[in-house]
Amino acid sequence: MLTDSFGRVATDLRVSLTDRCSLRCSYCMPADGLDWLPGPALLTDGEVTRLISVAVRRLGITEVRFTGGEPLLRRGLPGLVAATAALDPRPEISLTTNGIGLARLAGPLQAAGLDRLNVSLDTLSRETFVTLARRDRLPDVLAGLTAAAAAGLAPVKVNAVLLRGTNDHEAPALLRFCLDRGYQLRFIEQMPLDAQHGWRRADMVTADEILASLSAEFTLTADDPGLRGSAPAERFLVDGGPAHVGVIGSVTRPFCGSCDRVRLTADGQIRNCLFATAETDLRTPLRASALPRADAVARPLPGGGDGDGAAPEGGQVTGSTIPDSCSLPAPCQPPIADMGRAGCRNPGSLIP
């Protein structure tokens, strides 16, 4: 299990597949983008799958969410979903996306095993979308939403961030849009995550303000807080239900105590909080131990494991010949590399 020093247990792995994006939302990225990670710094599809496999099979991760940047820009996404869906135990698989390209990919992703997805939609106005996301792509997002529902990825969830003076008047319209289509809407308070450090607390539209704005047009009833669990959203029944709306008060109503998430960055760093200042590098030990076979994670192991280097259920990899004193040169050679990781004493070759 992944337990931190506060006793919180992480069961939800957020996997960022790229730092790049097709939009430039002002609350997230500068207009000119970021200094993108160079290609070789990114984990390969095989490396991503291998780390997910270890997390699911050995560390108690039960949900894997693909995110970014914009995860639909990652060409291998359907394959990553399929490889994750093939794990035993099979985790829940979800995706957070801006929806651009989803019209084409919703079907293949559903077929690959995607269970759920969240699409970000902050406005219904094309003009406001351009102001907010600095790209004229609202029609693509709406087409993506429609395609997701048609592909059976229901209930489609929608994430919205409100910015004062830009789209803060749109809360009721966004909720009406989602209710009419059976989408589940959640508002997220704007967090100080923008690379350009432009966030000001006084400018943030608070959860209280969002609820007041919605209450002008809908009757909201707080859902049983006991049902919330580790979910960040406070849920409210709309006009008596069964439809509901969520509000994530990340800043004014923090839920850190019940957080069950851990994050893997696109370049193979583990972060246990969105606001973490420190990371743990998994890419270096991963590459030191496994570069020659990183893309062969689904290959059956000679010792009976299933490809992440973990022992089969219940214990040891049969036939391991790795001695106690081993200090493997990196990379080590198959089949010893395959058989050895579960019992390997070389910390540099054990992931994690």
- Which residues bind to ligand SF4, rule: CB under 6 A? 21, 23-25, 28-29, 68-70, 98, 120
Tokens of 103: 């019209």
Work out whether the CA dihedral 255, 257, 258, 260 comes out positive or negative: positive
Q: Which does 66 bind (CB under 5 to 8 A by kind): ligand SF4, ligand SAM, none?
A: none
Could you tell me the smallest distance in angstroms from the CB atom of residue 188 to ligand SAM? 4
**What DSSP designation does 314 have?**
T
Q: Which does 67 bind (CB under 5 to 8 A by kind): ligand SAM, ligand SF4, none?
A: ligand SAM
**Residues sharing a CB contact under 8 Å with residue 202, sequence separation 6 or more, in sequence order:** none
Rule CB under 6 A: say whether 97 interacts with ligand SAM.
yes
Segment near ligand SAM (CB under 6 A), from 86-94, 190-198, 306-314, 337-345?
Answer: 190-198
From candidates 26, 67, 84, 167, binder to ligand SAM by CB under 6 A? 67
Q: Which does 303 bind (CB under 5 to 8 A by kind): ligand SF4, ligand SAM, none?
A: none
* Residue 199 or 312 having the CB closest to ligand SF4: 199
Nearest one of 114, 107, 92, 178 to 144, comparing CA atoms: 107
From candidates 43, 188, 205, 238, binder to ligand SAM by CB under 6 A? 188
Q: Which does 190 bind (CB under 5 to 8 A by kind): ligand SF4, ligand SAM, none?
A: ligand SAM
Work out whether the CA dihedral 181, 125, 144, 139 comes out positive or negative: positive
B/e letters for 18-30, b = 16+ CB within 10 Å, e = fewer, are bbbbbbbbbbbbe
From candidates 19, 47, 70, 338, binder to ligand SAM by CB under 6 A? 70
Q: Could you say which residues in the range 216-235 bind ligand SAM, by CB under 6 A?
A: none
* Residue 42 or 56 having the CB closest to ligand SF4: 42
Neighbours of 209 (CB within 10 A): 17
From candidates 11, 190, 272, 349, binder to ligand SAM by CB under 6 A? 190
Work out whether the CA dihedral 231, 234, 238, 242 comes out positive or negative: positive
- φ, ψ of residue 286 to 5 degrees: the values are -60, -45
Distance separating alpha carbons of residues 138 and 120, to the nearest angstrom:
11
Rounded alpha-carbon distances, angstroms, from residue 181 to 2, 149, 157, 158, 277 = 38, 9, 11, 11, 40
Could you tell me the smallest distance in angstroms from the CB atom of residue 26 to ligand SF4? 9
Q: Could you say which residues in the range 109-128 bind ligand SAM, by CB under 6 A?
A: 120
Q: Which positions touch ligand SAM (CB under 6 A)? A: 21, 27-28, 67-68, 70, 96-98, 120, 159, 161, 188, 190-191, 193-194
